[in-house]
Structure 1
Amino acid sequence: MTPTAMAAASADVVAPVAPGRLGEAIGARDLMTYLDGLLTWLDDRRSRLDALDTAAQATADSERYTPDVVLALSVWQSVRTRADELLAVWDDGRVTEVERERMSQLVWGRVDTRAGASPVSLPEALTLCDAMVSALRTRLAFDPDTADVVARLRGVRAALVRAEDLAGSDTAAHERLTALRDREQRLSAQAARGGDVSGPLTELETRTAHAERDLMVAVSQRRSAARARVDAQATAAALEAREPALHALAERCRREVAHPPRLAVPDVSRLGPVPLDRDALDAFVARLDAVRRALDAAQDAYSAPLRERAELRYRLGRAASLASSNGRDASPTVRAAHDEARDAVGTTPCDVGLARALVEQYEHLARPLPGGPGGAR
């Protein structure tokens, strides 16, 4: 089997679908599945790139392919580096919510592909690498030493059709493709008259492959940005829906607890609408995450003294039952300590610190005396 055929034989290994979204803690099972798929993809694409490199070196004009091979390998290496970072955080599955959220940032955050374009997310880097591999395989399959001009021109026309479908309503892209199609038609006419078009056709194949690759990346980026905007809108709506309950919790805490926390409840609407620009969208998502953490902190701060007050009531009742069973409730000192602790816990607003100290004091007094009922002998 030739190197090019070997590269084509593994086309059934597809890039894994990235789970979750930026800023959320992805489920451990989804992360494990994605990492398995990513490692399989990395092994497969490296084998394909090595095979394509070998095929390129075997051609009569190998230097024409070297820059694209090096570029594709650099994108692959960027993905490999990010995969190593994910594996380091994964730590054989020993991940908490914090680590899983960090992994979502590594999956959906920017990867520097050094491919002459803006940094892309990990899924986009996989798409970019696959586009480069496809373009290289196409060019090598239509090398002038192995295929005739008619077949090569047919391949160019097919690539232009695919690129036009990808371009959609992008005017600049259509202008670029129109120029390439005009060039293809001139070369087809020249070849029909018997002219030698090998050199210009090679250049046209290269430019067409690059145009298709660029459009595949652009489409992937647009889809990723659209998905990120939908996710950001959903996250903002969910956080805004938490505000009324949190305001009610804060008001209850201020009413029932002396010296309540002094944390403000964030106003999600102050972030404004979800932006369209990708960089602004990334900054918006980061601010959303900060708001989420602030909401969590406020909820914990306002609920903690209310929970502790309820727990103190339970502890006081349990200690009173103990004192009754061992006869300690007959002591005036113990009864006075109980009444004092009961008043502290029941007073509104409740001084939780004072109530805690008085309940602990009563628990100590309610313990059975040595040699007495329930005590050690």
Structure 2
Amino acid sequence: MTMTANGSTPVAPGRLGEAIDPGELLSYLTGLGEWVDRQRKELDRLGAAALASQEPDSYTSDIVLAETLWEATRKRRESLESVWDSGRVDTVARQKMSQLIWGRLDSGGGAELVSLVEAVRLADALVSQLTTRLSLDPRAAGTTARIVGLRAELERSRDLAASDPDSAARVSTLRNRLEALAEKAGRGADVTGPLGQLVQDSAHLERDLIVASSQKRDLARDARKAADDAAAAERREPVLRALAERCRREIVDPPKLAIPDVSKLGPVPQSRAALDSWIARLALVNRAFEAVEDAYAGQLRERAELRYRLSGYHAKAESSGRSASPTVAAGYLEAKEAVDTTPCDLRLARFYVEQYQFLTRDLPSASPPRQGQEGR
């Protein structure tokens, strides 16, 4: 089983959208199952300790968040097991499993902001911090051990904040506070109170950074998809303009719909609010494209259908002998001229084709003479 260095947390295989190797998926599912069971026991232990503490309310928010992350992780594991289907997974199923591992969770309470991988990491950090604050870990009971643990925690935060100067500055401030406390503790000073506050501040920072990292990744992914969608719309635009021009040439009184200019949307924004607004405007452009295509292609398609129907009616009239009728022949010429004339008046063409359909209908057969009338 693939594990982290501490032997407790399974390392997620592959990446988003990849058909992950079945062996790696099995190893991850096994490790994740063990993690879920172990985390449940830890949370029960921490919850009982928090209730027994002198200030139980101070732990409530962290306990609730940890429980929310655990529940979201448990549900996502069940979804993974369902798709896994005892190892009967094809390429599509393994790609879906990568989406479940690396995509956002679908639970509430804040867990939907992160992926399964990040939820496990954040839950581990919360449990570690709660264990330290509640003094349940003998290794963390001493000031020196707590300082060592905080240094490791801030190092993780420093890695997460590497690309964000503001967050890096927050990490640096906490590191300076920690080193100052470590120096005081080395001189024999009691730093229990300030150190406890620093533990909370560091925990909140790491949590913020994990969520921010997830949001940044999602923003980059959404921006790439928006750029791809805009490129597809730009490729579609000249096709629709050619379609509209053809309809105007071939149809009398064609639709009068404007075709949006995709380039007027401008470049893809890189901030969440601006990107969401930009994507909404692109969606309006695509809906306008759908309306344009339906309107212009619909009229050209109706003309083609009228020609096809007329051909079928004419073949039927030929086989039945009805085409020999001067009235039927004249009706055919009128209908054919109506559908072949460019630009085509669809209302007139529709009328003549329906009229020709009526003229080529089967005539009723003569009724046999009734009894008593024979021989009269």
Q: What TM-score do you get using the length of structure 1 for normalisation?
A: 0.72
Whole-Å Cα distance in 1 between the matches of residues 277 and 121 of structure 2? 29
Whole-Å Cα distance in 2 between the matches of residues 67 and 15 of structure 1? 31
Matched, 1:157 2:136: no
Matched, 1:144 2:135: yes
Give the partner amino acid of 1:246.
L
- Decide whether the 8 Å contact of 2:73 with 2:120 is kept in 1: no
Q: Which structure is higher in RCO with an 8 Å CA cutoff and minimum separation 6?
A: 1
Indicate the residue corresponding to 1:56 in structure 2: 47
Task: Tell me how large the CA RMSD over aligned residues is.
Answer: 3.8
Q: What secondary structure, in the 3-state scheme, does the structure 2 residue paired with 1:58 have? A: helix
- Decide whether the 8 Å contact of 1:15 with 1:126 is kept in 2: no
Q: What secondary structure, in the 3-state scheme, does the structure 2 residue paired with 1:274 have? A: coil
Whole-Å Cα distance in 2 between the matches of residues 45 and 289 of structure 1? 40
> How far apart are residue 315 of structure 1 and its match?
1.1
- Decide whether the 8 Å contact of 2:240 with 2:293 is kept in 1: yes
Indicate the residue corresponding to 1:250 in structure 2: 244
- Decide whether the 8 Å contact of 2:251 with 2:300 is kept in 1: yes
1:204-228, CA deviations, whole angstroms, 9 ceiling, x for partnerless residues?
2221111111111112222211221
For residue 228 of structure 2, the aligned residue among 212, 223, 234 is: 234
> How far apart are residue 51 of structure 1 and its match?
4.7
1:241-270, CA deviations, whole angstroms, 9 ceiling, x for partnerless residues?
111111111011011001111111111111
Indicate the residue corresponding to 1:341 in structure 2: 335
Q: What secondary structure, in the 3-state scheme, does the structure 1 residue paired with 2:135 have? A: coil
Indicate the residue corresponding to 1:172 in structure 2: 166
Give the partner amino acid of 2:175.
R
> How far apart are residue 190 of structure 1 and its match?
3.5
Indicate the residue corresponding to 2:85 in structure 1: none
Identity of aligned residues (%): 46
Indicate the residue corresponding to 2:183 in structure 1: 189
> How far apart are residue 274 of structure 1 and its match?
1.5
Whole-Å Cα distance in 2 between the matches of residues 73 and 163 of structure 1? 22
Indicate the residue corresponding to 1:283 in structure 2: 277
Whole-Å Cα distance in 2 between the matches of residues 78 and 55 of structure 1? 19
Larger Rg: 1 or 2? Answer: 2
Matched, 1:135 2:135: no
> How far apart are residue 323 of structure 1 and its match?
0.5
> How far apart are residue 45 of structure 1 and its match?
7.0
Structure 2 runs not aligned, ≥5 long: 1-5, 18-31, 75-102, 367-376
The change in CA–CA distance for 1:47 and 1:369 in structure 2 (over 3 A counts) is: farther
The change in CA–CA distance for 1:78 and 1:285 in structure 2 (over 3 A counts) is: farther
Whole-Å Cα distance in 2 between the matches of residues 304 and 46 of structure 1? 59
Structure 1 runs not aligned, ≥5 long: 1-7, 20-40, 81-106, 373-377
Deviates more, 1:134-143 or 1:262-271: 134-143
Deviates more, 1:130-139 or 1:361-370: 130-139
The change in CA–CA distance for 1:185 and 1:70 in structure 2 (over 3 A counts) is: same
Whole-Å Cα distance in 1 between the matches of residues 124 and 217 of structure 2? 20
Matched, 1:225 2:215: no
Q: What secondary structure, in the 3-state scheme, does the structure 2 residue paired with 1:302 have? A: helix
- Decide whether the 8 Å contact of 1:72 with 1:129 is kept in 2: no
Indicate the residue corresponding to 2:288 in structure 1: 294
Q: What TM-score do you get using the length of structure 2 for normalisation?
A: 0.72
1:55-96, CA deviations, whole angstroms, 9 ceiling, x for partnerless residues?
23325636242222234556789999xxxxxxxxxxxxxxxx
Whole-Å Cα distance in 2 between the matches of residues 328 and 248 of structure 1? 41
Aligned residues: 316
The change in CA–CA distance for 1:49 and 1:205 in structure 2 (over 3 A counts) is: farther
Whole-Å Cα distance in 2 between the matches of residues 275 and 157 of structure 1? 37
Give the partner amino acid of 2:153.
A
> How far apart are residue 130 of structure 1 and its match?
4.5
1:115-160, CA deviations, whole angstroms, 9 ceiling, x for partnerless residues?
6xxxx9x453767755542232111333434334233222211111
Whole-Å Cα distance in 2 between the matches of residues 169 and 315 of structure 1? 66
The change in CA–CA distance for 1:50 and 1:264 in structure 2 (over 3 A counts) is: farther
> How far apart are residue 306 of structure 1 and its match?
0.8
The change in CA–CA distance for 1:287 and 1:72 in structure 2 (over 3 A counts) is: farther
The change in CA–CA distance for 1:49 and 1:15 in structure 2 (over 3 A counts) is: farther
Whole-Å Cα distance in 1 between the matches of residues 253 and 179 of structure 2? 81
1:327-346, CA deviations, whole angstroms, 9 ceiling, x for partnerless residues?
10111111111111001001
